[in-house]
Every structure is written in C-alpha cells, then in structure tokens.
A and B are shown apart, each in its own frame.
Chain A
Amino acid sequence: TQLLEQSPQFLSIQEGENLTVYCNSSSVFSSLQWYRQEPGEGPVLLVTVVTGGEVKKLKRLTFQFGDARKDSSLHITAAQPGDTGLYLCAGAYRFTGAQKLVFGQGTRLTINP
C-alpha cells in the first residue's frame, strides 16, 4: 500500500520557470523530509518540516508542511539546470529507538537550458 503519493513523477521544464512538487497522504506524520538523489548515490536530506503549516526556504526552494501534517509541497522558483535530479519526499513515523520513513514515488526533474 502506497501511503505517500508524490506528483508529478516526471517533470521537464525550461530554465527560469517555476514548479511545484506535491506529496499527499491520508496519514499523519511526525515530520516530513525532502531528499534529493543523484545517479549512483544515496539520497541526501534537503529539509525537514515538523510543525503543521511550517514553511522553510532553502535559496530558491520553498518547502511547506500541511496544517494537518499529512501533506507537503516543494516549490522551486526560477529553476536552474543544476536543480535537475530525483526528489523524494518521506513521511516519518517515530518508534522507540528508530524512525520509519515512508517514501513517495519520487519526482524526476529535468531543467532544460
């Protein structure tokens, strides 16, 4: 069962355009994390949002956590070719001694010069 729906799965746009990636779930998460994965490497954390309604900015990237802590979005302003990559959202459940991450399907983003 896919608990976290990420969309779109593929996105190809021109340099300078804006885009938004969405992650939606019916589950409430203790936090939501966004990762970026380059070919041949493991995912690397971009940001963690914890509080419902929280907004975090990382240069041209804006991350938002839904009020009910069930969904999140990633907005990129004026996309650059360097933004090309696989973006993964992950909802976190806390266990004693560990944290279970449930990943979305990923968004493969291509920014064309």
Chain B
Amino acid sequence: DTAVSQTPKYLVTQMGNDKSIKCEQNLGHDTMYWYKQDSKKFLKIMFSYNNKELIINETVPNRFSPKSPDKAHLNLHINSLELGDSAVYFCASSETRPVRVRGKEQYFGPGTRLTVT
C-alpha cells in the first residue's frame, strides 16, 4: 500500500554518466514534484507537474529533465552527471483541488540517494 515510491533507493555512478530516477504515486493525486536535499538537509524544489503539464521549473541546470508519462508517474533524467549532483532526491505528490482550500499536504517518497564519483 505504498503511497509514493521511488526507484532506485541508492544510485552510485561516475561523472559524465546519464541516469534516471523513477517515481510513482497511487494516491490519485494530480500534481507531482521533485525536490533535492543536500548534505546539510536543505530541501529545495526543482520541478512540479500537474496532469503531465510542467507548472514549476526552478533554476535547475538543463541537464535535469523531468518527464511525466501520466499523472501517476514523474521521472527525472539527469545527463552528464557532476559531483555536485550528489544529493538525496525526493519525489512528492499532492492534490490541487478544491482550489479554494489552502495548505495542501505533500506526500513524499522515501528518497533516492545519488552519489556521483
């Protein structure tokens, strides 16, 4: 009965490689997010998709490309990996309706620890 799942849990790779992280939610939510948490535990939003449409795109290198094949999945592809990409990446999802209600909870996945060597 996992709500938000991510694969893989751990990813170790060398500089210059291309890798993907997958995310799936079974909560029926229409919005999904990618966050990056650095070594100091600072959590920063990267992207958000609503029903496969890109809504939020923070200042992220264009080596990072999210893809949403349907509203239950949001994958993150990273090209030409760099040492500074090492972090824990979290996927999250939330409802966005009814619009008049503020404070929608975001449900986070367990994270993918990416180590670039």
Give residues in A with beta carbon < 8 Å to B.
30-31, 33, 37, 40-45, 48-50, 86, 88, 90, 92, 94-103, 105-106, 108
Residue of chain A at shortest CB distance from B31: A98
CB-based contact B106/A99 at 8 Å: yes
- The answer to whether residues A42 and B31 also contact, given A50-B103, A86-B41, A88-B43 and a CB cut-off of 8 A, is no
**Cα-based distance from A42 to B34 in the complex (angstroms):** 12
Instruction: Please give, as numbers and ranges, the residues of chain B lying within 8 Å of A50 by CB-CB distance.
Output: 102-103
Which of A31, A95, A101, A108 is B102 in contact with, Cβ under 8 Å?
A: A31
Instruction: Please give, as numbers and ranges, the residues of chain A lying within 8 Å of B108 by CB-CB distance.
Output: 42-44
Instruction: Please give, as numbers and ranges, the residues of chain A lying within 8 Å of B102 by CB-CB distance.
Output: 30-31, 50, 92, 94
- The answer to whether residues A105 and B45 also contact, given A30-B103, A33-B103, A42-B108 and a CB cut-off of 8 A, is no
Q: How many residues of B contact A (CB 8 A)?
A: 32
Chain B proximity of A31: nearest CB distance (Å) = 3
User: Which residues of B from 1 to 59 have beta carbons under 8 Å from A?
Assistant: 4, 30-31, 33, 40-45, 48-51, 53, 55-56
Instruction: Please give, as numbers and ranges, the residues of chain A lying within 8 Å of B33 by CB-CB distance.
Output: 98
Interface-located stretch among B60-68, B76-84, B88-96: B88-96
CB-based contact B50/A42 at 8 Å: no
- The answer to whether residues A101 and B45 also contact, given A42-B4, A43-B108, A50-B103 and a CB cut-off of 8 A, is yes
CB-based contact A40/B96 at 8 Å: no
Residue of chain B at shortest CB distance from A30: B102
